[in-house]
Structure 1
Amino acid sequence: MAGGFSNFLNSLKEKANELKDDVMKFKSKNFLNAATGGAALIALADGTIQAEEKQKMIKFIESNEALKVFKTTEVVSSFTDHINNLEFDKDIGESKAFEALNKLRSNEVACRTVMRLIIAIASSDGDFDDNEKSVAKKIAVELGLNPAEFEL
């Protein structure tokens, strides 16, 4: 399974421009909130997020080709809002993040694009651990997708 997932990650990296084109098709506040909500959920997969992790995640989000279709300030603000909600009250934060994801559920292609983007963000540090995979699996289910399609 690990080999399948690393192959999946490599194909994501190779398709970075394609991902950017796909994100462009869904450039909306709902899409951005879903992507940053999912990224925040995965960032907190181990229960805490250190200041360094937040900074690293924000730097990655700022430099992510696919997210450049949005204003950097909007992306960082949306991600930070989700993180703040999760840190303030985990249940409320999760509820808001899943609500943001759920708004895309009627558009399968947008859901797949968000899922690919979230996995790319989550694996940007070179480590996609079991906690993160578990959260990614929940996100896939929330989006109405089969986690197995994403090697989860």
Structure 2
Amino acid sequence: MALWDRIKDSASTMQTQLVAKKNDLKSGAFRDASMAMCALVAAADGTIDASERRRVAQLIMSNEVLQNFDAADLQKRFDANLDKLTADFDFGKVSVLQEVAKAKKKEAEGRAVIQIGIVIGGADGDFDQAERGVVREACQMLGLAPTEFDL
């Protein structure tokens, strides 16, 4: 199976698992950590252009699990995290990873945040090394083994 097909299948599997847990993923910690993860993946290479920002924002708005939350609030949180990353990527990444760590208290939420990162990263069919790297770092912040997610 081609790499692109494996990425696409993995993202699809992760989304199915997330939808199955949708009713358990309604906390503010999950919301905050998810938006931080989306921003990390979007800016994984250290930059983010307007088209990439729009693409990730559209993925957030269309994600069935994230529809538990107000769309305008999600957009505000996503943009705030992106602003931190674009102002100073290294310093911003520390702050944004702390947002991800909010989901550490509930293991199911932590796993779901990682799955959202994989879904967002794989949505374009190219879950690149920079994106994988920030998702691995998020795993460490959440006390989860990256190998559990094939990272």
TM-score under structure 1 length normalisation: 0.88
Partner of 2:138: 139
Correspondences of 1:1-80 after superposition (within 5 Å): 7=6, 9-14=8-13, 16-80=15-79
Show CA shifts across 1:40-67 (max 9, x none): 1111111110111001111111111121
**3-state SS of paired residue (1:127):** coil
Residue 105 of structure 1 aligns with an amino acid whose one-letter code is K
| Amino acid of the structure 1 residue aligned with 2:123 | S
How many equivalent residue pairs? 151
Q: CA RMSD in A?
A: 2.2
- Alpha-carbon separation, structure 2, partners of 1:12 and 1:127: 11
Q: Which residue of 2 aligns with 1:82?
A: 81
Closer/same/farther in 2, CA of residues 113 and 5 from structure 1, 3 Å limit: farther
**Alignment pair present for 1:99 and 2:98:** yes
Which 5+ residue runs of structure 2 have no aligned equivalent? none
* Per-residue CA distance 1:94-129 (angstroms, 9 max, x = gap): 122111111221211111111111110111111101
Structure 1 residue 6, shift from structure 2 partner? 5.3
Report the secondary structure of 1:103's partner residue: helix
2:119 paired with 1:120: yes
The one-letter code of the counterpart of 2:78 is F
TM-score for the superposition, normalised by structure 2: 0.88
Q: Do 1:20 and 1:67's aligned partners in 2 also have CA atoms closer than 8 Å?
A: no
For 2:85 and 2:127, locate their aligned partners in 1 and report how far apart those are by CA, in whole Å. 20
1:151 maps to what in 2?
150
Identity value in percent: 31
Moved over 6 A (4+): 2-5
Instruction: Look up the equivalent residue of 2:121 and give its one-letter code.
Output: A
